[in-house]
Structures are given as structure tokens and as C-alpha cells.
């Protein structure tokens, strides 16, 4: 296990590097920063090149198996989630089979690891991200890997793809006040969203990741700081919304 001191130092170092230390007492800034840093790290995990404002690399990721479905799609095969899964379990999770399967292991084994080691790993010959991302952004996704993963197996029944322990009535109230402005009460907005939110519940791991961490390069909120209960309630409600896309 990594010590609190190491994490404190790690975060303090880049709270300083972000210039976020103002009149706020250091301890408060650090606790609050932890949540937003892990959320941003989660969005980097989702689609890093969008978050850092770059185009995706033009050539396939060298670690992506050439015989798999997304081998010719660098926009997909450079995303952390494409190799390691929305549930962070890689070949041991939802990507064990189907079009997204790669045989690559998850990142779940690194939960609790030293984030500094994760940064080193992201610069290694497998990942080659050292020239593509700033250290600060690598540190954010490393903190997500080390401290910010959601143990989705606790909340999602893989066989039925349903959420456990959510209260749909409470979730409706949360959804209508937090999400409906952008997504519509029936979950069919915005118009360019490929599938309605109801239909997206066919992949509850992705929905959970996005509600906890937010959507890359969009103004969508991250609910990470509220804990898991509101997330489960909202997902129970979304599961009742129409599956049809307008």
C-alpha cells in the first residue's frame, strides 16, 4: 500500500505545479484537488487526446493486436479504455470476448500502487506516451489508476448488466435536476449522441465511468465527490428511460 504521505507529496507537488495554491489552506486544497484530479484522470483514461486538446495519433498503437477489430482505428486503439476496459478489468472483464476483446490485462491490479510507478509505465515502450502528453497529465491519469478506480463488480451484475442497490425514484429526482438540462428528461439529447441514455445502459460500465468522471472535453459534471449512492440511483432511473433514439 502506498502511504498517505507519498500521495500527499505527490498531489501537493502538482497542486503547486498547477498554481492552485492561493489563499485556500493547503490541506483543504489538497483534499478537494484529489477529487478533481482523479476525475480528470478518468476522462484522460476515456479519451486522452480530447482532454489534452490534441488530434489522435495517425498510426495504430504499437501494443494493439494487429488481428483485432480496431487495429486500423488509431482514434480507438490509443484510448486506455480500448485495451483495459470501462470496468478496468481488461481480458478478465466485459472485454473478455466480443469486438473489443484484445487479451490485454486490466489496470485493476495497479489500484493502490505508487502513482509515480504508473507514470513511469506510461512512458515505457509499451505505452510511449512520454512525448505525447505532459507530465502533469500523465500524473493525473496515474492518480486515477492508483487511487480513483471504481470497483464496478460491487455495483453491476455482469450477467444481467443491471445496477445493484440503486433507488430509481431518488435517481429520477437527481437526473431531472442534474442531467435533464443537457440530456432531456427522456435521455435522447443532445441530438448528436449516437444512442439514447436508456440504450447506453447496454454498457453499464461505460455509463458508470462517465457519470463518476464526466465526459472528455464537455461541460458534463463529474459526480465523483458525492460517492457512489447517487450514481447508482441515477443509473437505476436511466435504465427505465426509452431505448429508442429520436
Burial (CB < 10 A; 0-12, 13-18, 19+), residue 221, is: middle
CA 125 – CA 148 distance, rounded (Å): 25
Per residue, what are the HEC states of 94-127?
A: HHHCCCCCCCCECCHHHCCCCHHHHHHHHCCCCC
Query: Which one among 49, 78, 88, 155 touches ligand HEC, defined by CB under 6 A?
Result: 78
Subset of 88-147 contacting ligand HEC (CB under 6 A): 104-105, 107, 109-110, 118, 121-122, 126-127, 129, 141, 145
Name the minimum Å distance from CB 153 to ligand HEC.
16
Q: What is the DSSP letter of 60?
A: P
Closer by beta carbon to ligand HEC, 29 or else 122: 122
Closer by beta carbon to ligand HEC, 234 or else 236: 234
Neighbours of 199 (CB within 10 A): 18
Name the minimum Å distance from CB 105 to ligand HEC.
5
Subset of 22-61 contacting ligand HEC (CB under 6 A): 45, 48, 61
Query: Which one among 29, 37, 80, 143 touches ligand HEC, defined by CB under 6 A?
Result: 80
Cα separations (Å) of 56 from 52, 59, 76, 77, 240?
Answer: 10, 9, 9, 10, 35
CB 185 within 8 A of CB 178: no
> Which grid cell sits at 210?
462517465
Neighbours of 46 (CB within 10 A): 22
Q: Among 31-39, 50-58, 154-162, 180-188, which window interacts with ligand HEC (CB under 6 A)?
A: 180-188
Closer by beta carbon to ligand HEC, 29 or else 142: 142
Phi, then psi, of 23 in degrees rounded to 5: -85, -10
Query: Which one among 200, 205, 236, 239 touches ligand HEC, defined by CB under 6 A?
Result: 200
x-marked contacts with ligand HEC along 3-22 as a string, rule CB under 6 A: --------------------
| Interaction site with ligand HEC (CB under 6 A) | 45, 48, 61, 63-64, 77-78, 80, 82-84, 104-105, 107, 109-110, 118, 121-122, 126-127, 129, 141, 145, 178-179, 181-183, 190, 192-194, 197, 200, 207, 210-211, 215, 218-221, 223, 234
Amino acid at each position: 500500500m502506498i502511504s498517505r504521505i507519498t500521495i500527499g507529496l505527490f498531489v501537493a507537488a502538482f497542486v503547486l505545479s498547477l498554481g492552485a495554491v492561493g489563499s485556500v489552506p493547503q490541506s483543504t486544497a489538497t483534499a478537494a484537488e484529489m477529487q478533481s484530479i482523479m476525475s480528470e484522470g478518468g476522462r484522460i483514461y476515456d479519451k486522452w487526446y480530447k482532454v489534452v486538446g490534441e488530434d489522435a495519433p495517425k498510426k495504430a498503437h504499437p501494443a494493439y493486436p494487429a488481428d483485432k477489430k480496431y487495429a486500423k482505428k488509431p482514434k480507438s486503439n490509443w484510448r486506455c479504455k480500448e485495451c483495459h476496459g470501462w470496468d478496468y478489468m481488461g481480458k478478465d472483464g466485459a472485454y473478455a470476448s466480443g469486438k473489443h476483446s484484445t487479451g490485454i490485462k486490466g489496470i485493476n491490479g495497479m489500484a493502490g500502487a505508487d502513482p509515480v510507478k504508473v507514470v513511469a509505465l506510461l512512458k515505457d515502450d509499451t505505452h510511449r506516451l512520454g512525448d505525447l502528453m505532459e507530465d502533469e497529465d500523465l500524473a493525473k491519469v496515474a492518480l486515477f489508476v492508483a487511487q480513483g478506480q471504481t470497483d464496478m463488480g460491487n455495483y453491476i451484475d455482469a450477467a444481467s448488466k443491471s445496477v445493484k442497490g440503486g433507488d430509481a425514484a431518488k435517481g429520477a429526482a437527481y437526473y431531472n435536476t442534474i442531467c435533464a438540462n443537457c440530456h432531456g428528461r427522456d435521455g435522447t439529447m443532445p441530438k448528436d449522441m449516437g444512442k439514447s441514455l436508456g440504450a447506453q445502459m447496454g454498457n453499464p460500465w461505460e455509463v458508470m465511468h462517465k457519470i463518476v468522471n464526466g465526459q472528455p472535453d464537455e461541460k458534463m459534471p463529474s459526480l465523483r465527490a458525492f460517492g457512489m449512492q447517487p450514481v447508482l440511483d441515477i443509473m437505476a432511473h436511466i435504465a427505465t428511460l426509452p431505448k429508442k433514439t429520436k
